[in-house]
Chains A and B, each alone.
Chain A
Amino acid sequence: MKLLVTGASGNIGNILGNKLQKNNIPFIGLDVVSQGFINDDFFQLDITNKSNLYEKKSVFNEVDTLIHLASKIDAGADITNTGIESVNVNVKGTLNLLECLPNLKNILFTSTYMVYGIPKQNPVTENHIQEPHTVYGTSKMVTEKYLQVYAQEKGINLTIFRYMGIYGLMSHYANQAIPIFIKLIATGKNPIIYGNGLQRRNHLFIDDAIDAILVWINNKNPGIFNIGGIDSPTNLDLISIINEKMNKKIKPIFKESQQYDFITDISRAAAVLHFQPKTRIKDGLSNTIERFLE
């Protein structure tokens, strides 16, 4: 296997790179920026720049397995604002990569639960209707479709992970609930809860997100899989656990907002990919707080 990992300097890429090295799995890393863990075979390249990619064609010619993490994350909903850049990186960037990788046999593409939009029913299976309400979710959904056509056409083994919201890293995903809650509670400030705080989500711990990739590297089972956590805590649960772990008693402030449960059905990944998350929410949060306090 000759493996290429895009987004190698990103949130998931960094930790994945470390794990791959520990497990003696050689890989080529690619990212638009160079930071964090960098392996010997790292190329700082922008996937939106096809001619830059083509300069490394001799290297990419050998690649038969692609783990495509590189992505423009933007939670906005106004396509006239962020749409073009999102399409350029996520959709066109993916097509550029495919053009430079003529000998691919396996692709793992990391997508998101946001391809579904607001759940019609929970738990959300992979067949749930797709009505994304963000620029990011739409770009991922569209990229999935292009990849499916390409893989079918070329006889490539395609796996798509629809990750649930990932936690466990304080420095990244800074605008997500868990890191914000931890930061505010640590400094004695009241965290804000939108809605009544009773909505549930099966947040995915970063180590489990990485483990799913390692499982895939071993079996490369194709298909579309929801990858989410075991537990589905409410925001109130999260705040109570964080308070307990940090020996605090900070109360949240509630702000009126329409919120909804989002729990993905992860049984297909268990049955077909043979992947199951291991981290309970209490342990994941302890771990996250420890990393924060370091």
Chain B
Amino acid sequence: MTFKIAEKNFLITGGTGQIGSFLTEKLLENKANVTVLGHNSNNLKEIKDLVDTKKIKFVECDLTNENRIKTVGPLLQNVDFLVHLSSEFRFPEPNSLSSAHHTVELDIKGTILLLQQLKQLQGILFTSSAAVYGKPSYLPTDELCPIRPISFYGCGKFATEKYLKLHSNNKNVPLTILRISNVYGQRDRSNQMIPIFTRKALRNEPIKLNENGSRDLIHISDVIEAIMSAIKLNQNNLFNIGTGIKFSNHFILKKIIEITKSQSKILRLEKSEDDDFVYDISKATAKLDINPKVSIERGLVDEILWHKKQI
């Protein structure tokens, strides 16, 4: 039996972001009612038109603001399904204690406070991260790999998984956890490798490269497909979401330079901070009946064209 999306009330936290905005559009196509929760109504980005034309509801709420969550609670009474994308913050010092406090406030307490308001949930989907594995004990990394976060960001994601799991068991609400690898593609506003490389390549600036590193990059449209499939399944599940293919940072950079026809020079750094990473995606492939479709070339063209338009 699959979960029927049409007519259901979805709440998407962090809904103005890359995954959130695409998912909002996809859920609307499937005739769902969508409420997006975000911390800034003046920065709605791609969902602005949908809010202005009242196709979706927007609730302004910072999940670290306990009073605000309680105030907007009545607007969330009818939520059937929570898609918890919970936005990520990049800190100047990611492993400082103030960052640790922030992950506790936003990830753990924000989640608990939100759940206090959602009393009729029929399903929860949470997007976690490969950061829960830290430096994985083995590659390709499957879902049984030991949990050893090496960052407070990873701690916050892991903690959220576990508090959600406790809630799911206690209230009998199915919970899907997707540990997503590196997402790329259009609307990528992150300060990650591909946007940085792309912006510099478009300006023909020299680009610093850490040798040795590699990653499992998944295009946004494949992520959306995985999320939609998981919502329809709506069972207690944990999946690693990636492509199962690793590309070296060097390869990605060369591709970007090639696509942008850039004159950028590659500055090779001797010391590498990045490690190898690739997922074993066999569980997701089998149970969600999905297979990443977008090739790295097509995906990079998609993201680069978007960045060009932003300039």
Give every chain B residue within 8 A of A142 (Cβ-Cβ).
108, 155, 158-159, 162
Question: Chain A 105-140 against B: per-residue CB contact (8 Å), 1 yes, 0 no?
Answer: 000000000000000000000010011111100100
A174 interfacial contact with B, CB 8 Å: no
B27 CB to nearest chain A CB (Å): 26
Check A145 against B166 for contact (C-beta < 8 Å).
no
B residues 20-68 touching A (CB-CB < 8 Å): none
Instruction: Compute how far the CA of A133 lies from the CA of B181 in the bound complex, rounded to whole angstroms.
Output: 28
Q: Which residues of A contact B120 (CB under 8 A)?
A: none
A21 to B156, CA, bound (A): 39
Given contacts A79-B112, A149-B151, A149-B155, are A95 and B170 in contact (CB under 8 A)? no
Question: Which stretch from A66-74, A80-88, A271-279 is at the chain B interface?
Answer: A80-88
A91 within 8 A of partner (CB): yes
Residues of A contacting B112 with CB < 8 Å?
Answer: 79-80, 83-84, 87
**Whole-angstrom distance from the CB of B237 to the nearest CB of chain A?**
14
Min CB distance A89 to B, Å, is 12
Q: Specify which of A77, A92, A141 is in contact with B104 (CB 8 Å cutoff).
A: A92
Chain A interface mostly: helix
Task: Determine whether B255 belongs to the interface, using a CB cutoff of 8 Å to chain A.
Answer: no
Q: Which of B135-187 contact A (CB under 8 A)?
A: 146-152, 154-155, 158-159, 162-163, 165-167, 169-170
For residue A98, CB closer than 8 A to chain B, the reply is: yes
Contact of B152 among A83, A130, A149 (CB under 8 A): A149
Closest-CB distance, B95 to chain A (whole angstroms): 5
A83–B97 Cα distance when bound, in Å, is 21
Within 8 A of A (CB), among B103-135: 104, 108-109, 112-113, 115-116
A99 part of interface (Cβ distance < 8 Å): yes
- Whether B158 lies near A78 (C-beta < 8 A) is no
B interface, over-half SS: helix
Known A79-B167, A84-B109, A138-B163; contact A153-B147, beta-carbon cutoff 8 A = no
* Contact between B158 and A77, CB atoms less than 8 A apart: no
Report the bound CA distance from A95 to B124 in whole Å.
29
For residue A288, give the distance in angstroms from its CB to the closest CB of chain B: 32
Alpha-carbon distance A107/B185, docked complex (angstroms): 44
**C-alpha spacing A84/B100, complex, angstroms:** 16
Chain B residues whose C-beta falls within 8 Å of the C-beta of A138 in the assembled complex: 159, 162-163, 166
**Shortest CB distance A181–B (Å):** 28
Complex CA distance for A153 and B150, rounded to whole angstroms: 9
Say yes or no: A145-B158 contact (C-beta < 8 A), given A80-B115, A138-B166. yes
| B101 CB-CB contact with A under 8 Å | yes
CA distance A187 to B153 in the complex (A): 53
Find out whether the CB atom of B104 lies under 8 angstroms from the CB atom of A95: yes
- The answer on a CB contact under 8 Å between A77 and B166 is yes
Chain B CB within 8 A of A152 CB: yes
B155 touches A133 (CB 8 A): no
Are B101 and A95 closer than 8 Å at their CB atoms?
yes
Q: Inside 8 A of A146's CB, which chain B residues have their CB? A: 100, 104, 152, 155
B contact residues, total (Cβ < 8 Å): 29
Please indicate the chain A residues that have their CB under 8 angstroms from the CB of B108 in the complex: 87, 91, 142
Taken together as a complex, chains A and B put the C-alpha atoms of A91 and B170 apart, in Å, by 21
A150 to B151 alpha-carbon distance, docked (Å): 9
- Nearest CB of chain A from residue B64's CB, rounded to whole Å: 12
- In the complex formed, the residue of B with least CB distance to A76 is B170
Contacts of A141 in B (CB 8 A): 162
Q: Tell me the complex Cα distance, A88–B108, Å.
A: 10
A79 touches B163 (CB 8 A): yes
Contact A87 B97 (CB under 8 A): no
Cα separation A92 to B146 with both chains bound (whole Å)? 25
A147 and chain B: residue at smallest CB distance: B155
Complex: how many Å from CA A85 to CA B143?
A: 31
Say yes or no: B162 contacts A132, CB within 8 Å.
yes
Contacts A87-B109, A152-B150; A145 near B159 (Cβ below 8 A): yes
Contacts of B169 in A (CB 8 A): 77, 133
Which residues of B are found within 8 Å of A79, using beta-carbon distances?
Answer: 112, 115, 163, 166-167, 170
| CB < 8 Å neighbour of A133 from B148, B150, B166 | B166
Do residues B167 and A80 form an inter-chain contact, with CB atoms below 8 A?
yes
Cβ-defined partner of B95 (8 Å) among A88, A92, A133, A153: A153
B101 nearest in chain A by CB position:
A95
Query: Which of the residues B147, B155, B170 comes within 8 Å of A130, measured between beta carbons?
Result: B147
A95 and B95 CA atoms in complex are apart in Å by 12
Q: Which residues of A contact B100 (CB under 8 A)?
A: 95, 146, 149-150
Q: How many whole Å from B144's CB to the nearest CB in chain A? A: 9
Q: CA–CA, A95 to B154, complex, Å?
A: 16
Chain B residue with the shortest CB-CB distance to A92? B104
Which residues of chain A are within 8 angstroms of B166 by Cβ–Cβ distance?
77, 79, 132-135, 138
> In the bound complex, do residue B149 and residue A145 qualify as a contact, i.e. CB atoms below 8 Å apart?
yes
Within 8 A of B (CB), among A39-90: 77-80, 83-84, 87-88
Q: What 10 A-B pairs come out closest when comparing CB atoms? A: A142-B159, A83-B112, A80-B116, A145-B155, A153-B95, A77-B170, A99-B97, A146-B155, A79-B167, A95-B100
Chain A to chain B contacts (Cβ below 8 Å), 17 pairs:
A78-B170, A79-B170, A80-B116, A87-B108, A87-B109, A88-B109, A91-B159, A92-B104, A99-B97, A130-B162, A142-B162, A145-B147, A145-B149, A149-B150, A149-B154, A152-B150, A153-B95
Inter-chain pairs besides A146-B155, A149-B100, A149-B154, 8 sampled, C-beta below 8 Å: A87-B104, A91-B159, A92-B101, A99-B97, A132-B162, A132-B166, A149-B149, A149-B150
User: B residues near A, CB below 8 A?
Assistant: 95, 97, 100-101, 104, 108-109, 112-113, 115-116, 146-152, 154-155, 158-159, 162-163, 165-167, 169-170
